[in-house]
């Protein structure tokens, strides 16, 4: 049998239903309403299923539910692409164990020499290589320089750095936005790897030690780090606004290269050049 993730399913569907008002769903509403958002019966009508059937789904039982029904529920709840994919993943996670186990990959903690060479050859951009537990498996010289506060604290996990290291809030000028999206990304990964005990331990540790993490984890929001822009306040360089790309390695699906760049000639582009000089100086000092 698959993982018993009924609590996760129940919390996710309930939280999404609470976010949709009758007006947003195009439903006429009369009198006082006891529930925040839509009623179960209203979602059932919108999804084209019986109230009893939707109630079963919201209680966490997704066993045998077709993709078309999941898509109908996603449309009724106005889920975005990431949320819809998460709902499908929750359904798969509760499915038969053999089917899931065949496609499962453990978190990679060592890399092939060729991957190391590619990473080191990226001399003009900071780059980190991380696994799905958000452990930094490797970094190039500029990556180590950019994330100097994290590495200086002996931390190799970006989640622990973000929520447990007091330097993180100074390092990320938009810390709350960064942290909330990090929680959403971790929830996506948790649904994909529900049997990874180290990952569950990480979530438990963050929940116990960080009030912010615990609050945002309960919100059931999801997020995928594919690309975007991130601001940094480097202790030696100052403000940097860098574009990032998350590049999954073909053949190493559990590993992702996160590379940062800036337009040449811009303040952040000049800042990256200064970062390279600073990194070279640091290496010389350490070598000496």
CATH code of residue 160: 3.30.450.180
pLDDT tens sequence across 141-175? 999 999 999 998 787 999 999 999 999 999 999 99
- Give me the pLDDT at residue 102, please: 39
135: helix, strand or coil = strand
Q: Which residue range(s) make up the domain with 168?
A: 113-287
Which of 72, 102, 132 terminates a domain? The answer is 102
- Give me the pLDDT at residue 23, please: 87
Same domain, 180 and 224: yes
Give the C-alpha distances (Å, rounded to integers) separating 202 from 98, 106, 156, 160, 186: 25, 15, 13, 8, 10
- Confidence band for 103, pLDDT divided at 50, 70 and 90: very low
Which of 74, 102, 130 terminates a domain? The answer is 102
> Is the confidence at residue 127, as pLDDT, over 50?
yes
What secondary structure does DSSP assign to 46-108, as a single string?
A: HHTS-HHHHHHHHTT--TT--HHHHHHHHHHTT--HHHHHHHHHHHHHTS-HHHHHHT--PPP
What secondary structure does DSSP assign to 140-209, as a single string?
A: -HHHHHHTHHHHHTT--BHHHHHHH-TTHHHH-TTHHHHHHHHHHHHHHHHHH-TT-HHHHHHHHHHHHH
Q: What average pLDDT does this structure show over 77-94?
A: 93
Domain contains 107: no
pTM score of the predicted model = 0.88
> Is the confidence at residue 108, as pLDDT, over 90?
no
Same domain, 91 and 142: no
- Give me the pLDDT at residue 250, please: 73
pLDDT tens sequence across 226-285? 899 999 999 999 999 999 999 988 776 688 999 999 999 999 999 999 999 999 888 766
- Give me the pLDDT at residue 155, please: 78
Same domain, 95 and 134: no
Q: What average pLDDT does this structure show over 12-29?
A: 90
Same domain, 66 and 118: no
Same domain, 257 and 231: yes
Domain count, the chain: 2
Same domain, 38 and 175: no
Q: What average pLDDT does this structure show over 114-133?
A: 93
Same domain, 47 and 137: no
Same domain, 123 and 207: yes
**Stretch among 47-51, 56-60, 96-100 having the lowest mean pLDDT:** 96-100
């Amino acid at each position: 049998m698959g993982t018993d993730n009924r609590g996760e399913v129940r919390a996710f569907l309930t939280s999404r239903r609470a976010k949709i008002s009758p007006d947003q769903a195009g439903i006429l509403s009369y009198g006082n309403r006891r529930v925040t958002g839509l009623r179960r019966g209203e979602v059932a009508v919108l999804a084209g299923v019986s109230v009893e059937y939707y109630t079963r789904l919201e209680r966490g039982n997704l066993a045998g539910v077709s993709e078309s029904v999941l898509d109908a529920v996603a449309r009724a709840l106005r889920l975005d692409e990431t949320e819809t994919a998460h709902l499908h993943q929750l359904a798969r996670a509760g499915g038969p164990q053999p089917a899931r186990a065949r496609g499962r990959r453990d978190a990679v903690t060592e890399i092939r020499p060729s991957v190391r060479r590619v990473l080191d050859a990226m001399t003009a951009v900071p780059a980190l290589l991380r696994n799905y537990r958000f452990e930094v498996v490797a970094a190039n010289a500029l990556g180590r320089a950019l994330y100097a506060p994290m590495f200086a604290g002996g931390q190799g996990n970006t989640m622990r750095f973000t929520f447990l290291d007091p330097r993180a809030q100074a390092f990320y000028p938009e810390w709350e936005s960064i942290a909330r999206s990090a929680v959403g990304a971790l929830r996506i990964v948790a649904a994909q790897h529900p049997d990874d005990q180290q990952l569950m331990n990480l979530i438990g540790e963050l929940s116990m030690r960080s009030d912010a993490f615990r609050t945002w984890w309960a919100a059931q929001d999801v997020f995928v780090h594919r690309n975007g822009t991130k601001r940094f306040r480097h202790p030696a360089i100052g403000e940097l606004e860098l574009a990032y790309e998350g590049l999954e390695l073909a053949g190493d699906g559990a590993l992702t290269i996160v590379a940062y760049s800036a337009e040449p000639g811009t303040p952040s582009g000049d800042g990256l050049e200064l970062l390279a000089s600073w990194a070279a100086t640091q290496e010389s000092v350490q070598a000496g």
